[in-house]
Amino acid sequence: MNTRQNSHASVLAGIREGADMMEVDIRATKDDHVVLYHDESIITSDGSKLLRELPYEALNDVILLENVLPYIKMNNRTINLDVKEDNAIAPMIRIIEHFDMQNQVLITGCEKERAAFIKAHYPTYKVLLNASFALFETCDYSSYVQQTIADAIDSKSDGINIHYQHCREELLESAKANRLPVYVWTVDQPTDMVKFMQLGVQSITTNNVKTLVHLRNEYTHISK
């Protein structure tokens, strides 16, 4: 999509183009406002500052989660909340519950400790384990699969969120055997989209929504 990430425009474009789920990055300000923002730091008139150390009024052109959730709710979609820091968890949950949207939320951005914390304190929420980049880079693939599955089970995660280049049939087979759906990100090439649909992943995150929706509809029609 030709829109700025973490903006009203990107969320509305995703809905308009037929996405089932919109993904946004989540952080919290010093005064517990939950905002859509990816980076840890933000440029202000006084230079680069940590977002978590600033009040919301000090930010420019940063969107509040509470201003996006109504669009998701009224269009009966799901929102993928990629949590960037632990301080955002409690205020994020309060906003979700204010809008009564527990069943329209998927929480990601969680390695084992964060996933376990959220499941322990908010067990009714759907939480995905983020497969570790560091683990992928430091061990053989079979060991990576074994540890990822173990971490998902130990943290009581509801599935696995994984970079598409790290997702292979071995992991998918092991995840399926353990009843762990697999979500892949970020898949922008049509050939990769088709491959992962054929492999049976639960969900594909993309910037190229129109193409994915078209291919999904074609694949669904052929599969019937």
Q: Does domain 111-224 have CATH number 3.40.50.1100?
A: no
Tell me the pLDDT tens digit for each residue of 3-29.
Answer: 899 999 999 999 999 999 999 999 999
1-78+99-109 and 111-224: same fold? yes
With respect to CATH, is domain 1-78+99-109 assigned 3.30.365.10?
no
Predicted confidence (pLDDT) per residue in 25-42, tens digit = 999 999 999 999 999 999
CB atoms within 10 A of CB 211: 15
Each domain of the chain, given as residue ranges in start order, spans 1-78+99-109, 111-224
pLDDT along the chain (224 residues), means of 10: 89 96 98 98 93 96 97 98 98 98 98 98 98 98 98 98 98 98 98 97 97 92 54
d(CA 42, CA 39): 7
Give the bridge partners for 105, in sequence order: 79
Instruction: List b or e across 6-41, with b for residues whose CB sees 16 or more CB atoms inside 10 angstroms.
Output: bbeebbbbbbeeebebbbbbbbbbeeebbbbbeeee
- Which pLDDT belongs to residue 223? 55
